[in-house]
Amino acid sequence: MSGTGEPRRVLVLNGPNLGRLGSREPDIYGATSYRGLVESCGKLGGELGFAVEVRETNDEGEMIRWLHEAADGRIPVVLNPGAFTHYSYGMRDAAAQRTAPLIEVHISNPYTREEFRHTSVVAAVATGTIAGFGIGSYRLALRALAEELAAEG
């Protein structure tokens, strides 16, 4: 909860192709649809005292603007950068400006996949990274945010 008794706003930001969950390579990303992800994050977020807003974009500039919004508003972030993870230094620099916890998430475990996926330009500026637990990675990240925010007081 925020200091006013209102739920704490949290952004769950998703990069390219994540809007295609459920139909995109279900053997890697699972059968849960994007709508299912949104519902799952909203439900758990509510239980944790968060007002969760889930967004998805295939546009790097839009993702950077959202990270700026989060930094300016001291809004905690759960970030699945998708393919931006491996090369977007602009997104990394925007994430580095964070003023609240930022948890990097991945549905699959990048280290069990192609070698180019083993590098995250975001990890060094994130509070932490959770990967390999399917859609559960988001639930773990929301719980981690709750713990981080509680520790901050």
pLDDT at 85: 87
Hey, what are 101's tokens?
């916890």
- Provide the pLDDT for residue 116: 64
Q: Which of 87, 106, 111, 138 is catalytic?
A: 106
Number of domains in the chain: 1
- Whether residue 141 lies inside any domain: the answer is yes
Strand arrangement of the beta sheet that strand 128-131 belongs to: 50-56, 8-14, 77-80, 102-106, 128-131
Asked whether residue 17 is marked as a ligand-binding residue, the answer is no
* Sequence-distant contacts of 29-36: CB under 8 A, at least 24 apart: 29/107, 29/108, 29/134, 30/107, 30/134, 30/135, 32/134, 32/135, 36/135
Residue 86 known to bind ligand: yes
Q: For position 133, which CATH number holds?
A: 3.40.50.9100
Residue 18 sits in which domain range?
Answer: 8-152
Q: Catalytic: 106?
A: yes
100 part of a folded domain: yes
User: What is the H or E stretch that residue 43 is in?
Assistant: helix 34-47
55 in Cβ contact with 80 (< 8 Å):
no
Catalytic annotation on 68?
A: no
Is residue 14, in this structure, part of any structural domain at all? yes
Q: Which one from 29, 68, 89, 118 is the annotated catalytic residue?
A: 29
Per-residue pLDDT of the chain (153 residues; tens, 9 = 90+): 555 678 999 999 999 877 666 666 656 655 567 898 999 999 999 999 999 999 999 999 999 999 999 999 999 999 999 888 887 999 999 999 999 999 999 988 776 666 766 688 999 999 999 999 999 999 999 999 999 999 987
Domain assignment present for 51: yes
Asked whether residue 109 is domain-assigned, the answer is yes
Its pTM stands at 0.88
- With 0-12 CB in 10 A as exposed, 13-18 as middle and 19+ as buried, what is 47? exposed
Confirm if 102 and 126 have CB atoms less than 8 A apart.
Answer: yes
Q: Is 14 labelled a binding residue?
A: no
Asked if the structure places residue 3 within a domain, the reply is no
Quote the CA–CA distance of 57 and 55 in Å, as a whole number.
7
> Annotated binding residue at 107?
yes
Residue 71: per-residue pLDDT? 98
